[in-house]
Amino acid sequence: MNMDKKFEQPVLKLEDVAITYKVRNGEIDAVQNVSFEIFKGESHGIVGESGCGKSTVAWAIVNFLGANGYVKSGSIKFQGQELVNKSDEELRRLRGDQIAMVYQDPMQALNPSLRLGDQMKEVLTVHRGMSESEAEDRCVDMLSRVYMPDPENVIKRFPHQISGGQQQRVVIAMALLNNPALLIMDEPTTALDVTVEAAVLDLIAELRRDFDTAIMYISHNLGVVARVCTQVGVMYAGEMVERAPVRDLYADPKHPYTQGLLRCVPKLGGDKASSQLYPIRGRVPPPNNRPSGCVYGPRCDYARQRCLDERPEVRQMPDGTSVRCHFAEEIDPAAWIPPEDIKLTPATEDVTKNEPILIIKDLKKYYDVAGSSLKDILGLGEKRKVKAVENASFEVPRGSTLGIVGESGCGKSTLVKTIIGLENATAGQAEFNVEDVTFDVTSSLSGRDKKLIQELQMVFQNPDSTMNPSYTVGQQIGRPMERFGTVPPDQIRSEVVRLLEAMRLGENYFDRLPRQLSGGEKQRVGIARALASRPELVLCDEPVSALDVSVQAAILNLLIEIQREFGTTLLFIAHDLSVVRFFSDFVAVMYLGQVMEFGPAEEIYQLPYHPYTEALLSAVPIPDPSVTQKRIRLEGNVPSAISPPSGCRFHTRCPRRKLMPDGGKKCETELPPWREFNNGHRIFCHLPKETLESFDPVISKAAEPAAD
């Protein structure tokens, strides 16, 4: 019901909260002076990069800070009742009855050894003394409320028997069983694929309306927050630097940090030129060494002497935004000029017309699956195979970038691993520099020519697991130079330093160990190591998905610069479609091992689309609330790759299938043809060209409100 807020009391109100952890030599102030309130039926987003104290605030509310953490000052009021210093018993009652939490990893909240129904029922039988059968009915109701298919059967299953998106639905249903007044969600969709994420976000928005629950939504993803939240608070280094209604925050960010963050994320709404990324220089100060003035001062482009001397207080702006900056009124983000050192020079030559360096023809990769039946063990059963990559064919011109996108399990990584030789191809060809690299199907990577290994290098998603923790940075980067002999031994050090400088790391990193580096720095070392042997083709497997947006922007810009300088060809795997658009010259969209669409990057994001690409684009969270996206949600799960659907692999979930004559019978039986469009843009679909071209665009920018 629409009532004036001034008569309403917030469900949750934090005032000047400071949270401190006791450590061996003193105390660390993790969070300082955070104030905000959440009203009934409102969802309040908290965004910020890792380590800025988002989750700490959430934990303080439910007193999960651990043995050494405590709320040092300030007050946390839930429905007018003070939570700080409340007895454990009372807090437990509140947590059970009125406050619920949903975490990033649903498996953490679910007991793997209990059936889903049993753990859900427990909430009701133990907490409310409800009878078993009544509790079961209620659980089934709630599961159907969160659109769980076949809820009667799901409650009999174990957590591992349902998919990640479904697990998260179970956790959300469980949180809602008690009809809480406050729901705290800590990155609830971060571990999910975009299409699943989109469905879960829709669900959250719907539940907020129906149950009138106040939601505190923690996320690092500006796009997700734009989609589900009504209010947003931006946190930086333990402080809330800006708080505003969602539209205002994105349209008119007041704090320089918020402005910087928004410049770091590629946007799908605008044209490609506007998705230029500008990383924020410097790095987040550690909590025990924060500057005495403004925490953002050392990284701020507008910092003056006052910012370094005096800590700004939160100020209310005329439009209701609260911001922690001395000069917020004077700063105009539109007048911002990127500093020379982070600006990316536009490409001078068109690399897309170069001769191809990599030609993939009908590449297949099947894995054998060990069956567990007696027949299988005796070797009499029919051999089953996971068809991880099916008939992939494309060409990559020298010096260009091919982005490969798709949901998890679609075969992106397998494709790349097959090219680099970590996996043997089952059939087909991969010609690199006119040389077939799949010729030695029986031998492994060690059987490859050293020259070939040198020319193909890889950057991995998780730099930690690919670095030897006891080797210094210098040794790690120098190793490939030594091994391949690309640099004379006496020049290795200077060459490593040169590479480090190209990565903006500097010589002082030479003797550091991996544990002394931040995540972004480790990834830079990973890239430097891949480039050390001067390869012609670098395969990047999600190189930025584990990084914060500002670091991500820096790494992406760095990769582009390196590519222009060394003329390296890049194969870039990502699940984030906006990153791929910004970064790539060509894009391949994969689904269940099959390339569904291939073409120049700009063409992929414009009409015509493959129905799957259309669904992906509609699911991507865009950090701009003024952009409207067509709502297309895929139903069901990705089918198993052991027995992929016949005909078109996408037919079981295709929302456009009904456009085919007789309901798409053909899609079930026949492999679709490649439909050719401009500039080598190809779509693997039965739908005729004219139909594909007649779709409406997925992303459209809402008309600007007329100026007064």
Q: Cα–Cα distance between 589 and 171 in angstroms, integer?
A: 31
166 versus 213: smaller Cβ distance to another protein = 213
Q: Which among 461, 444, 631 is positioned nearest to 546, based on CA atoms? A: 461
The answer to whether 254 and 323 have CB atoms below 8 angstroms apart is: yes
The answer to whether 376 and 442 have CB atoms below 8 angstroms apart is: no
Q: Does 79 bind another protein (CB under 8 A)?
A: yes
Q: Cα–Cα distance between 434 and 380 in angstroms, integer?
A: 41
Instruction: In angstroms, give the least distance from the CB of 603 to another protein.
Output: 45
Instruction: In angstroms, give the least distance from the CB of 233 to another protein.
Output: 22
Amino acid at 246: V
The answer to whether 589 and 405 have CB atoms below 8 angstroms apart is: yes
Query: Where do the H-state alpha helices sit in 546-664?
Result: 549-566, 577-583, 601-604, 611-619
81 versus 646: smaller Cβ distance to another protein = 81
- Which residue from 26, 66, 80, 112 is in contact with another protein, where contact means CB under 8 A? 80
* β-bridge partners, 699: 629
- Residues 643-662 touching another protein, rule: CB under 8 A, are none
User: Which residue's entry shows tokens 């397998």?
Assistant: 414
- Residues 98-117 touching another protein, rule: CB under 8 A, are 98
Q: Does 119 bind another protein (CB under 8 A)?
A: no
User: Which residue's entry shows tokens 């659980």?
Assistant: 139
Instruction: In angstroms, give the least distance from the CB of 128 to another protein.
Output: 4
List phi, psi (to 5°) of 428. Answer: 90, 180
40 versus 255: smaller Cβ distance to another protein = 40
Q: Cα–Cα distance between 452 and 535 in angstroms, integer?
A: 9
209 versus 658: smaller Cβ distance to another protein = 209
β-pairing, 594-600 with 586-591? antiparallel
- Which residue from 132, 134, 565, 670 is in contact with another protein, where contact means CB under 8 A? 134
Q: Cα–Cα distance between 20 and 54 in angstroms, integer?
A: 14
Q: Which residues contact 646 (CB under 8 A, 6 or more apart)?
A: 668, 669
Q: Cα–Cα distance between 360 and 78 in angstroms, integer?
A: 60
Q: Which stretch binds another protein (CB under 8 A): 197-205, 207-215, 592-600, 613-621?
A: 207-215
Widest Cα–Cα separation across the chain = 80
Q: What is the contact mask toward another protein in residues 316 to 355, using x (rule: CB under 8 A)?
A: ----------------------------------------
- Which residue from 72, 86, 115, 128 is in contact with another protein, where contact means CB under 8 A? 128
Instruction: In angstroms, give the least distance from the CB of 61 to another protein.
Output: 16
494 burial type by CB count under 10 A (0-12 exposed, 13-18 middle, 19+ buried) = exposed
The answer to whether 399 and 351 have CB atoms below 8 angstroms apart is: yes
134 versus 693: smaller Cβ distance to another protein = 134
64 versus 211: smaller Cβ distance to another protein = 211
Q: Which stretch binds another protein (CB under 8 A): 17-25, 74-82, 242-250, 509-517?
A: 74-82
Q: Does 2 bind another protein (CB under 8 A)?
A: yes
The answer to whether 536 and 455 have CB atoms below 8 angstroms apart is: yes
Q: Does 1 bind another protein (CB under 8 A)?
A: yes
Q: Which among 351, 465, 483, 367 is positioned nearest to 417, based on CA atoms? A: 367
- Which residue from 26, 129, 379, 636 is in contact with another protein, where contact means CB under 8 A? 129
Instruction: In angstroms, give the least distance from the CB of 80 to another protein.
Output: 4
24 versus 209: smaller Cβ distance to another protein = 209
Q: Does 211 bind another protein (CB under 8 A)?
A: yes
The answer to whether 139 and 171 have CB atoms below 8 angstroms apart is: no
- Which residue from 20, 213, 219, 457 is in contact with another protein, where contact means CB under 8 A? 213
Task: Report how many residues bind another protein under the rule CB under 8 A.
Answer: 29
Q: Does 212 bind another protein (CB under 8 A)?
A: yes
Q: Which stretch binds another protein (CB under 8 A): 4-12, 244-252, 402-410, 665-673?
A: 4-12
β-pairing, 401-405 with 586-591? parallel
- Which residue from 72, 86, 115, 138 is in contact with another protein, where contact means CB under 8 A? 138
12 versus 692: smaller Cβ distance to another protein = 12
Q: What is the contact mask toward another protein in residues 173 to 192, using x (rule: CB under 8 A)?
A: -----xxxx-----------
The answer to whether 610 and 597 have CB atoms below 8 angstroms apart is: yes
Q: Which stretch binds another protein (CB under 8 A): 172-180, 266-274, 430-438, 665-673?
A: 172-180
Q: Does 130 bind another protein (CB under 8 A)?
A: yes
Q: Cα–Cα distance between 263 and 256 in angstroms, integer?
A: 11
95 versus 522: smaller Cβ distance to another protein = 95
Instruction: In angstroms, give the least distance from the CB of 256 to another protein.
Output: 37
* Three-state DSSP state, 184: strand
Q: Does 3 bind another protein (CB under 8 A)?
A: yes
The answer to whether 616 and 589 have CB atoms below 8 angstroms apart is: yes
User: Which residue's entry shows tokens 């194969």?
Assistant: 571
Instruction: In angstroms, give the least distance from the CB of 84 to another protein.
Output: 15
Instruction: In angstroms, give the least distance from the CB of 137 to another protein.
Output: 9
Q: Does 205 bind another protein (CB under 8 A)?
A: no
Q: Cα–Cα distance between 151 and 660 in angstroms, integer?
A: 32
- Residues 17-46 touching another protein, rule: CB under 8 A, are 40
Q: Which stretch binds another protein (CB under 8 A): 124-132, 378-386, 587-595, 696-704?
A: 124-132
Q: Does 85 bind another protein (CB under 8 A)?
A: no
Q: Does 75 bind another protein (CB under 8 A)?
A: no
Instruction: In angstroms, give the least distance from the CB of 114 to another protein.
Output: 20
- Which residue from 29, 65, 86, 97 is in contact with another protein, where contact means CB under 8 A? 97
Helix (H) or strand (E) holding 586: strand 586-591
Q: Does 133 bind another protein (CB under 8 A)?
A: no
Q: Does 86 bind another protein (CB under 8 A)?
A: no
Amino acid at 25: N
Instruction: In angstroms, give the least distance from the CB of 129 to another protein.
Output: 6
Whats the size of the chain, residue-wise? 708
Scored b (16 or more CB within 10 A) or e, 458-492 reads bbbbbbbebbeeeebbbbbbbbbbeebeebeeeeb
Q: Does 66 bind another protein (CB under 8 A)?
A: no
Instruction: In angstroms, give the least distance from the CB of 92 to another protein.
Output: 11
**Other beta carbons within 10 Å of 392:** 26
Q: Which stretch binds another protein (CB under 8 A): 121-129, 337-345, 487-495, 669-677?
A: 121-129
* Three-state DSSP state, 397: strand
Read off the DSSP letter of residue 159: G
List phi, psi (to 5°) of 121. Answer: -60, -35
134 versus 310: smaller Cβ distance to another protein = 134
Q: Which among 389, 407, 117, 314 is positioned nearest to 125, based on CA atoms? A: 117
Q: Which stretch binds another protein (CB under 8 A): 111-119, 129-137, 460-468, 572-580?
A: 129-137
**In the complex, which residues of this chain contact another protein (CB under 8 A)?**
1-3, 7, 9, 11, 40, 79-81, 90, 93, 96-98, 127-130, 134, 138, 178-181, 211-214
